[in-house]
Amino acid sequence: MTKVFAIANQKGGVGKTTTTVNLGAGLARLGVPTLIVDLDAQANATSALGLEKTPGRSLYPVLHGEAAAADMVVTTSTKGLSLIPSEVDLAAVESELAQGENYLGRLRAALAPLIDSGAHKAVLIDCPPALGMLSMNALAASDHLVVALQTEYLAMEGLGQIVGVVEQLKAAGAGDRLTLGAIIMTMFDGRTNLSKQVVDEVRKHFPDKVMDTVIPRTVRLSEAPSHGKTIFQYDAQSPGAKAYAALAKEFAAKFGLK
């Protein structure tokens, strides 16, 4: 059975896209057929995977009933890792979705045939940096919310907001399958006490949700996307590659993806 994960956080720049791309590549390398859905009009996941933004190639026509999700899937240079790309058109969906019927369930309906086909074991949805219609749709389409949480001061505060949205969605009758699946701590700086304190505090509140693997802040991880490469293609021996490989292993075991 295919499991769907929304990689989300209302803040930008916290490592959602970096985590989606490299966790996705890590899972594919473990033999888990994985699909990344780029749901951000900025298309950072698309370019990080070395693919061009192409007009008409995104979820936009799918959400408008003009194409099937399966028609938008492209392969990437990582074996076993596929992508539904994004492009600027997707920005318009944010306001259009709010007007239609079943406005929280549109993405779920659009992806259903692809998910039910079982072509992928894991679907990772890279959400935009806001809790708008697109992110809400992503959550309603998912089995698990995965929060990418930057290891920084006041991390807990932002976490409370997004976790609250899970309850709101359920109260609204959307996202009946959705649970808080995992919290991934990103950009950890081992040289500072603050980083350690933040991780400890989040673990204290969500002991069974925070992944054991913590992603360090490293320059190589920030360089890889501009080369259109995953961290495994860019520098396989780097600490960032080792961290995402460990995360993928832990993630696959936690969610029974193997």
Q: Which stretches of the chain bind ligand ADP, using CB under 6 A?
A: 12-18, 44, 129, 186-187, 215, 217-218, 221-222, 225
**Least Å distance between CB 31 and ligand ADP?**
25
Judged by beta carbon distances under 5 to 8 A according to partner kind, the member of Mg ion, ligand ADP, none in contact with residue 120 is none
**Of 169, 149, 126, 160, residue with least CA distance to 4:** 126
Min CB(78)–ligand ADP separation in Å: 17
User: Taking the complex as a whole, how short is the minimal distance between the CB of residue 12 and Mg ion, in angstroms?
Assistant: 7
Q: Tell me which amino acid residue 210 is.
A: V
Residue 79 Cβ, how far from Mg ion at the closest point, in Å?
24
**Closest distance to Mg ion from the beta carbon of 20 (Å):** 8
Spatial distance between the Cα atoms of 181 and 45, rounded to a whole number of angstroms: 21
DSSP state of 215: P
Q: Considering the complex, state which of residue 21 and residue 169 has its C-beta at the smaller distance from Mg ion.
A: 21
Residue among 49 and 174 whose Cβ is closer to ligand ADP = 49
Closer CB to ligand ADP, 14 or 90, in the complex: 14
Query: Which partner in Mg ion, ligand ADP, none is near 102 (CB below 5 to 8 A by kind)?
Result: none
Cβ nearer to ligand ADP, comparing 136 with 187: 187
Crossing angle (nearest 10°) for helices 193-205 and 155-171: 30
Look at residue 187 and give the partner it binds from Mg ion, ligand ADP, none, a contact being a CB closer than 5 to 8 Å depending on partner kind.
Answer: ligand ADP
- Rounded CA separation 258/125 (Å): 19
DSSP 8-class letter at 9: -
Maximum alpha-carbon separation in the chain: 52
Is the CB of residue 49 less than 8 Å from the CB of residue 96? no
Q: Which does 221 bind (CB under 5 to 8 A by kind): Mg ion, ligand ADP, none?
A: ligand ADP
Residue whose CB is less far from Mg ion, 21 or 174: 21
Determine the Cα–Cα distance for residues 133 and 128; give it in Å rounded to an integer: 10
3-class secondary-structure state, position 77: coil
Query: What DSSP string runs through 36-84?
Result: EEE--TT-HHHHHTT----TT-SHHHHHTTSS-GGGG-EE-SSTTEEEE
31 binds, among ligand ADP, Mg ion, none (CB under 5 to 8 A by kind): none
Q: Coil, helix or strand for 164? A: helix
DSSP state of 88: T
Give the interface with Mg ion as residue ranges (CB under 5 A): 16-17, 44
Q: Of 85 and 174, which CB lies nearer to ligand ADP in the complex structure?
A: 85
